[in-house]
Structure 1
Amino acid sequence: MMNNVLMAHLLEAPTRCYEDAIVVPEITANNFEIKHGLLNLVQNKQFFGHDKEDPHAHIRYFNKITSTMKFPNVPSTSVKLMLFLFSLEGAARIWLEKEPPQSILTWDDLVSKFINKFFPPSKTTNLRNEITRFQQKFDETFYEAWDRFNDLLRGCPHHGFSELHQLDTFYNSLNSNDQDSLNSAAGGNFLDKMPRECLKIIESKSKVRQSRSKAIV
């Protein structure tokens, strides 16, 4: 009889271990409440975990949204930990729900696990290769090329390329007309200038969006 009772007990559905992966520190502030407006803002731009989504951009957006509202005596990181689940949907939400209970103790823990899940080393390698092999397109203006190059850099903020390497890569990706234009603005060889001077020259030239310096065939 005892054995039957024990077996029945073992086969019962568990009623414990439903803790979330994210541990939100206890909030002792009086009258603390997450407003619906803030929750709606977080949910307006959810991350689904698709290949073409940028997890870095999602963290930047989430930080910007959650920093718009301050709560007295409540750390901003506690608010972020509390709200982050609502910024996820689809495969991304499933990932977080499958993380071990109480395994994420800080905001830094959460960001690290999120980025490493949705930005694996293979993606870093591919983007680094795209940056290294960057070339201005035939019908692309200087402004468009600079904007596209910066999009690649923003998409992989841990690319590891120095500012000098970035400027050298971009300059050598340009058609001869745009290279000559940069050299002229620099009063000589563009790459002989200091990186900050080079950056100022590029940004000044990129503001002239109407200038369409196309490659010569």
Structure 2
Amino acid sequence: MRGEPSCPKCGGRVRAPGLFADSWQCAVHGAVHPVQPVVPPSVDSIAVVVHHTQVPVWMPWPLPVGWLFTGIAYAGDDRTGGRATAVACSGPGPLGGTSELILIAEEIGVGLGARYAGIDGPDPGPYMTVEKPAEAKVLAVGRPTPLWHVSGTPGDRAVFAGEAGGLWLWAVVWPEQAGLLMYEELVLTDLRDAGAEIELLPCGALSRRLLQP
């Protein structure tokens, strides 16, 4: 994902709009919203995404003790605006060691969340059993938001998904055991609404998970 726009669904190269197509094109998936190159985590990188996006930019806020912001990405372009965002954080895991969390907000069909989840996309619906009670819950801008376990994912991660404000909300956690984080009812803030306190955000090294799930 670093260096040039890529396909949100497979990470492959995309072709810019031109004479024969008015949208970005992936050779495998056709028209897509391109994932823009990822830059090192900073307050400035958040400002760029917030300026472009049409969807929330979710982050646990305040961050859990010892946790750091480790990167941000978005899918979209200057013409359409951001149609998906991904925010990465890392810190001490509930069972020891280091855990990583990526929160994705996206419109239906974009496919970025499914890519980080490691499943065939583009959406989580077929992989969730919403007839059963949700396994996790977050507070998204003060609203209780149920998240269901997403099945069929690789064994190295835990994945949860639900709906917030008519958009998909994904939470992807590494390692799988760190999925216990999602049972603590994280408080999520949309960084589009953040104030001056964002200047105090602790930043770590760029997450390799954000670059290559």
TM-score range, shorter chain: under 0.3
Larger helix percent: 1
The normalised TM-score by structure 1 is 0.23
The normalised TM-score by structure 2 is 0.23
